[in-house]
């Protein structure tokens, strides 16, 4: 019985995931400090793009790979995981079921800004020794996600107008 990555994911999808991860890792040094967190709008844009173009599963894979590489390179923190995973998942699910780019952006916003922020709190408390309130993460996560989600929608709309159009 043969098992290969291309049996699970078509080669085109693997390449797109790789390109999105590469963009996320290269753009990692471009962050903005907001409150207790550093925000990475490019990662949120990538979550919207991956969620809309590839679906929730591949979007989560791209988010986990990007967060892992950023942490290994020292350009990310453990807080990158909950925000990016839930943002990518909800962006992909929202686009899958509602078929509009702005719903993918809303999924990213809720997934990262609310769910990811609340999941990040115990992580920050136990791993990073943060003693603040859980709500301290919601504002910076939401602001970062909002900026990145808008950027993601702009890119999706430009992509749709271009000759490349569809990835299928």
DSSP state letter for 162? S
Residue 98 forms part of a structural domain: yes
Average pLDDT over residues 85-98: 97
Average pLDDT over residues 76-94: 91
Q: How many domains does the structure of the chain reveal?
A: 1
Residue 5 forms part of a structural domain: no
Residue 10 forms part of a structural domain: no
Q: Which domain holds residue 89?
A: 41-161
Average pLDDT over residues 54-74: 95
Kindly list the distances between the CA atom of residue 25 and the CA atoms of 53, 130, 155, in Å, as whole numbers in the listed order: 19, 25, 18
pLDDT for res 110: 96
Residue 63 forms part of a structural domain: yes
Residue 27 forms part of a structural domain: no
pLDDT for res 135: 67
Question: Residue 7: is its pLDDT beyond 80?
Answer: no
Q: Residue 114 corresponds to which tokens in the numbers above?
A: 């609310």
- At 1, the pLDDT band (50, 70, 90 cuts) reads very low
Query: Can you list the alpha helix ranges (DSSP code H) found in 9-134?
Result: 11-26, 41-53, 56-73, 80-98, 101-110, 117-127
Question: Residue 132: is its pLDDT beyond 80?
Answer: no
- At 65, the pLDDT band (50, 70, 90 cuts) reads very high
Quote the pTM value.
0.87
Residue 93 forms part of a structural domain: yes
Residue 34 forms part of a structural domain: no
């Amino acid at each position: 019985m043969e098992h290969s990555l291309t049996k699970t994911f078509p080669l085109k999808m693997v390449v797109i995931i790789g390109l999105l991860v590469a963009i996320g890792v290269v753009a990692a040094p471009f962050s903005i400090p907001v409150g207790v967190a550093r925000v990475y709008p490019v990662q949120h844009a990538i979550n919207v793009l991956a969620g809309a173009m590839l679906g929730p599963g591949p979007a989560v894979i791209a988010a986990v790979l990007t967060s892992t590489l950023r942490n290994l390179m020292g350009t990310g923190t453990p807080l990158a995981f909950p925000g990016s995973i839930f943002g990518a998942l909800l962006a992909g699910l929202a686009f899958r079921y509602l078929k509009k780019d702005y719903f993918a952006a809303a999924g990213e916003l809720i997934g990262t800004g609310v769910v990811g922020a609340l999941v990040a709190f115990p992580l920050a408390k136990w791993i990073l020794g943060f003693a603040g309130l859980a709500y301290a993460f919601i504002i910076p996560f939401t602001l970062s996600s909002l900026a990145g989600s808008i950027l993601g929608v702009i890119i999706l709309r430009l992509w749709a107008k271009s000759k490349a159009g569809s990835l299928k």
